[in-house]
Amino acid sequence: MHNYYKFNLLLIILISLLLLASLPAAAQADFAAPELLISTAELNQKLEAGNKNLKIIDVRNSARYLLGHLPDAVHMWGDDLSAVQGWVPELIPDAPDFSNLAQAKGINNDSEIVIYGEEDSPWAARLWFIFKVYAHQDVRILEGGYQAWNEADYETEILPHNPKEGDFEVRDVKNEWLVNSDTIAENMNNDNFLILDIRTEAEYKGEETNTAAPRKGRIPGSIHLEWTAVLDEVGNYKSAAEITDLFQEAGISKEKETIAVLSHNGVRAAHTFFTLQVLGYENVKLYDESWVGWSNRSDLPVEMN
């Protein structure tokens, strides 16, 4: 009888471990909104099921895409994700331009979109943000990116995918997710309006800057937490508890009326915006003009260490 109970206990433990292993990493990490992410196993199941509505987008550079990509994945990169005539380089594309691009990539208004890049790249979050601002609801990011897919030994392709033209059209805009330089300037002394700078420490302190930003430094009163702080040593998300602790230590609270996130040009900021959304923050805006926009405005103040 003792052996019987021992066997059942071991069986229960084994089944529990198997069930835990089958959960998406986001669910294991206890995120508030794990549905914004998709695991490699779940995506592979959708591909094997022949989901005709599924559209996969690769946002790595062209060379990496051509060396291997997910089945039927289309490619977007660089200028595809930026406004052609924006006064600040790499603002999100205008609605008509983005509609045309998405159509050329085979995207429909009812498509189920999955985006992936390198495991620690902010570009997948950037494209996710663009789709969501333009009111496409069914869009997720692949956990672990291409590396996780490749390590799981799932099928890949080399030849570019050339889909039939889609019918995607921007029908609405979530303007409430965006904030501009004037609004940031008006709220520098507003304790309920948090300005979160997620650039490197050297950029934040004014020790260095990047292309198109004529001035070094930071927005007075902004707080700093580098965007990579939420990632582990291989570029995957830390647990929700660890990330929440990081945010709380930095003073990034859900109680704030607004959290405006900026980087150099809005790309890395999109990753932090996405992270905050996954954690259930509902008070987040992206400052798309970011440091390039602020530093080009001579009428706006700059602070340095």
179 and 215 belong to one structural domain: yes
Position 210 confidence tier, pLDDT thresholds 50, 70, 90: confident
Q: Give the pLDDT band (50/70/90) at residue 80.
A: confident
For residue 197, tell me if it sits in a domain: yes
For the entire predicted model, the pTM comes to: 0.90
Neighbours of 98 (CB within 10 A): 23
Residue 89 lies in a domain: yes
The mean pLDDT value for 280-304 works out to: 96
Q: Summarize the confidence of residues 69-78 as an average pLDDT.
A: 95
Whether pLDDT at 234 is above 90: no
Region 174-192: mean pLDDT is 96
Whether residues 201 and 250 fall in one domain: yes
CA dist 255 → 86, 229, 245, 285, 286 (Å): 33, 22, 15, 14, 17
pLDDT at 10 over 60: no
The pLDDT value given to residue 62: 95
Please tell me whether residues 79 and 143 are part of one structural domain: yes
CATH of the domain at 86: 3.40.250.10
Does residue 31 sit in the same domain as residue 144?
yes
Higher pLDDT, 18 or 3: 3
Give the contacts of 112 (CB within 8 A, at least 6 positions apart): 46, 51, 53, 54, 55, 138
Verify that 186 and 114 share a domain, yes or no: no
Residues 140 and 47 occupy one common structural domain: yes
**What confidence score (pLDDT) does residue 21 get?**
42
* pLDDT at res. 211: 84
Tell me: pLDDT of 19 over 60: no
257 is written with which tokens?
Answer: 């009326």
The verdict on residue 164 lying in a domain is no
**Is pLDDT above 60 for 17?**
no
- Residue 1 included in any domain: no
On whether the CB atoms of residues 141 and 43 are closer than 8 A, the answer is no
Domains in the chain, number: 2
Q: Are residues 189 and 287 in the same domain?
A: yes
Token pair in block for residue 42 = 């779940």
Least confident of 81-85, 145-149, 183-187, 236-240: 81-85
Q: Are residues 35 and 118 in the same domain?
A: yes
pLDDT value at residue 228 = 96
pLDDT tens, 113-125? 999 999 878 999 9
pLDDT at 4 over 80: no
Residue 5 pLDDT grade (very low, low, confident, very high; cuts 50, 70, 90):
low
Same domain, 60 and 138: yes
Task: Verify that 76 and 113 share a domain, yes or no.
Answer: yes
The three-state secondary structure class of 138 is coil
In a domain, 159, yes or no: no
Residue 69 lies in a domain: yes
Are 32 and 147 in a shared domain?
yes
Query: For residue 270, is it within any domain?
Result: yes
* Mean pLDDT, the chain, integer: 90
Whether 174 shows a pLDDT value over 90: the answer reads: yes
| Residues 108, 195 within the same domain | no
Domain that holds residue 228: 175-295
pLDDT at 2: 56
Q: In 3D, which of 170, 3, 199 has the Cα closest to residue 100?
A: 170
| Sign of the dihedral through C-alpha 295, 209, 199, 35 | positive
The confidence score (pLDDT) of residue 3 equals 59
Looking at residue 7, what is its pLDDT? 56
Q: Is residue 237 part of a domain?
A: yes
pLDDT at 84 over 90: no
pLDDT at position 120, please?
79
Higher pLDDT, 96 or 12: 96
Q: Contact at 8 Å (CB) between 212 and 265?
A: yes
CB 281 within 8 A of CB 194: no
Q: For a pLDDT cut of 90, what percent of the chain falls above it? A: 81
pLDDT of residue 142: 96
- DSSP assignment of 83-120 equals -TT-SSTTPPPPHHHHHHHHHHTT--TT-EEEEE--TT
